[in-house]
Amino acid sequence: MDLSLRQLEEAVSLRRQIDSLERRFAGLVGGGRATSSAGAKTGGGRRRRRRTMSAATRAKIAAAARARWARVRGGRKAGGGGKKTRRRGRMSAAARKKLSDMMKARWAARRRSGK
């Protein structure tokens, strides 16, 4: 296909207009797909910037979180306190020794039967 110089210049001009309109459209829509050749060369469209919080706002959020946890804990300190609960599943030393001896006897019987 042979293009005259005038047709080629017109095609380049149209391509530039299309690219410009696509960039404007992406800006209006909020960073939609940029399919322009210029966007492909530079590595894509816009990059989002992370939002930062002021120190005062961070302090307010932290104070609210501490207040929430204080309500959950019911006023007791984080280190413990409050009512004591009985720990279940505790075994006396004698019971532990008895179980240990029983297991040792089982293992010994198993070793004897395996030979």
Tokens standing for residue 107: 């293992």
Can you give the pLDDT at residue 34?
47
pLDDT over threshold 60, residue 10? yes
Can you give the pLDDT at residue 45?
61
Domain ranges of the chain: 5-42
Tokens standing for residue 76: 């007791």
- Residue with more model confidence, 47 or 112: 112
Q: Are 34 and 44 in contact (CB under 8 A)?
A: yes
Instruction: Give me the percent of the chain exceeding a pLDDT of 70.
Output: 75
pLDDT over threshold 90, residue 57? yes
Q: Are 35 and 22 in contact (CB under 8 A)?
A: yes
- Residue with more model confidence, 33 or 11: 11
CA distances from 98 to 63, 90, 93 (A): 53, 15, 9
DSSP 8-class letter at 50: P
Q: Are 34 and 45 in contact (CB under 8 A)?
A: yes
